[in-house]
């Protein structure tokens, strides 16, 4: 999982053909922190199909605001640079993987 910021968000979303997943979170959010190791695992397991990035809402408030982030963790799926789906809360690794694979 790579770290993105307000400055690197556009480049991440637009580069390449893979599905992009952004996890919006914060250091004070326990579920956000719990999600990091499983997201790193999914990033490796599914590296041929997806890229997962992490965005700290306190360090990068502009992107968080533009994506209408109201609670964390918030997972957002992008295809071809367009937002296609959201998952609010930490569903666990297997449910997150199912969500990523769904269209």
Pull the structure tokens for residue 91. 């569903």
Label residue 39 left, alpha or beta by phi (over 0 means left) and psi (-120 to 50 means alpha): alpha
Selecting among 1, 19, 22, 32, the annotated active-site residue is 32
Selecting among 5, 26, 29, 46, the annotated active-site residue is 29
Residue 69 contacts by C-beta under 8 Å, 6 or more apart in sequence?
24, 57
Query: Is the Cβ–Cβ distance between 21 and 50 less than 8 Å?
Result: yes
39 is annotated as an active-site residue? no
32 is annotated as an active-site residue? yes
Residues recognised as catalytic: 29, 32
């Amino acid at each position: 999982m790579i770290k993105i910021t307000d400055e690197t968000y556009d480049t991440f979303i637009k580069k390449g053909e893979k599905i992009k997943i952004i996890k919006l979170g914060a250091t004070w959010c326990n579920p956000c922190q719990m999600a990091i190791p499983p997201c790193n695992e999914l990033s490796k397991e599914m590296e041929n199909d997806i890229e997962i990035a992490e965005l700290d809402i306190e360090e990068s408030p502009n992107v968080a605001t533009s994506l209408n982030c109201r609670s964390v963790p918030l997972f957002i799926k992008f295809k071809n640079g367009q937002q296609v789906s959201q998952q609010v809360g930490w569903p666990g690794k297997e449910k997150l993987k199912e969500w990523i694979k769904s269209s």
